[in-house]
Amino acid sequence: MAKFNTIDDMELHGKVVLTRVDVNVPVENGQVTDTTRIDKIVPTVKDIQAAGGIPVLLAHFDRPKGQRVDSMSLRQIVPALEAALGQSVTFADDCIGGTAKRAVAALQPGDVALLENTRFHAGEEKNDATFAASMAALGGAYVNDAFSAAHRAHASTEALARLLPAGAGRLMEAELKALDAALGNPQRPVMAVVGGAKVSTKLDLLMNLVDKVDHLVIGGGMANTFLVAQGVEVGKSLAERDMADTARAILDKAKATGCQIHLPVDIVVAREFKAGAENQTLPVAECPEDAMILDAGPATVEALRQAMTACKTLIWNGPLGAFEIDPFDAATNAAAKSAADLTMAGALVSVAGGGDTVAALNKAGVAGDFTFISTAGGAFLEWMEGKVLPGVAALEAARR
């Protein structure tokens, strides 16, 4: 597991603590429409305050490309942040320079401040040392609580960690511990469920997982590509036929490493991609030429349930079918329910992440029953792919 300091390892009393958070939340007409990411940073802010530190929040919002864009100002999230924290929040119109210095200098113990969008400066995404030093001059310690931005080598996620005593916030700590439990040092056997539309977008992920897990379940449009690679006709289904050789290479690697690949044994097909479309459940090799596969069938789900029951750890990324529309969410819902039941019974450690995954598990009504749900998106995927995350590497360096 990555070795890093946490808030508990740091001397924060009397210090301004520059705290990198992810509050890149959806906003409509100046109002935050989903406060999930804001809610998740509250424990870190409160624990820094309890340790005698003064949290000064650093964050990006949208993609202003190094320019000041009023519609991308963090000022608009202040009301939602204040509601989540239950206190007023000082807002500074810049994250460096005189404006930021004056705002920080006026803070008292118990206060919290939010500085303006770090991406209003080109130095942020360039990981510029001078820009990072300007931010570092504002504080006496650094806490990174934005795992979702840890795959970016930006000034506020990487360079800053090398300029001040640094550690992980509570959300970052929880993410890293959950991922270590899922892939780093898991209880075996381990199952990974990987769904989604295209093999090409998850090639690195699949190649890494066949080295790491005992069972790899492939679902969604990706499964169709693997079926094509095995000579199965899939009609008008979404499939990357030009990736068939790659799919066969993954199957060969899995055989060599002892990883069992699970593909659909039965399918749900329809001739229209719409909610309530007339559909049939057929053996996997019997997809009509004019139909498309939109979900895995019940026999596939039962086989997955049995395999899952024999496992100790599950990592999930992506749905098994077109979960957005009924009734083609059935396989995803049923498999997710099985995972949730095993988790609640104490028989399975279950970790899930990725945008579609979180939406699918919420739709199935079981997200709260998984051991851990990551909201990190790209960082979660890159970790699963076995890549080094610059923001995490910087915290490891700080530990040394």
Mean pLDDT by 10 residues, the chain (400 residues): 88 98 94 93 98 98 96 97 98 98 98 98 98 98 96 97 97 92 91 90 90 96 96 96 95 97 98 96 97 98 98 95 95 97 97 87 93 87 88 89
253 included as an active-site residue: no
Residue-level pLDDT at 275: 94
DSSP for 31-91, please give it. Answer: EES--HHHHHTHHHHHHHHHTT-EEEEE---S--TTS--GGG-GGGGHHHHHHHHTS--EE
First vs last C-alpha separation in the chain: 14
DSSP 3-state assignment of 146? Answer: coil
Q: What is the 3-state secondary structure (H, E, C) of 307-326?
A: HHHCCCEEEEECCCCCCCCC
| Residue 220 tokens, joined | 């969604």
Q: Is the dihedral of CA 31, 33, 37, 42 positive or negative?
A: positive
Task: Specify whether the CB–CB gap between 171 and 43 falls below 8 A.
Answer: yes
Q: What length is written for the chain?
A: 400
184 included as an active-site residue: no
How far apart (Å, rounded) are the C-alpha atoms in residues 365 and 215?
25
Residue-level pLDDT at 354: 81
Residue in 378, 386, 387, 399 annotated catalytic: 378
Residue in 37, 40, 119, 152 annotated catalytic: 37
| Residue 169 tokens, joined | 């916030």
DSSP 3-state assignment of 20? Answer: strand
Residue-level pLDDT at 2: 65
391 included as an active-site residue: no
Distances 201 to 6, 194, 206 between C-alpha atoms, Å: 33, 11, 10
**HSE (CB half, 13 Å, CA atoms) of 147?**
28
37 included as an active-site residue: yes
Residue in 75, 101, 162, 198 annotated catalytic: 198
Residue-level pLDDT at 196: 85
Residue in 52, 66, 184, 355 annotated catalytic: 355
Q: What is the pTM of this model?
A: 0.88
Please list the alpha-helical segments (H only) found in the chain.
36-40, 42-50, 78-85, 97-105, 122-125, 129-136, 170-179, 203-212, 220-229, 244-257, 298-309, 330-344, 355-364, 378-384, 390-399
Task: Specify whether the CB–CB gap between 158 and 131 falls below 8 A.
Answer: no
Task: Specify whether the CB–CB gap between 291 and 235 falls below 8 A.
Answer: yes
Residue-level pLDDT at 88: 98
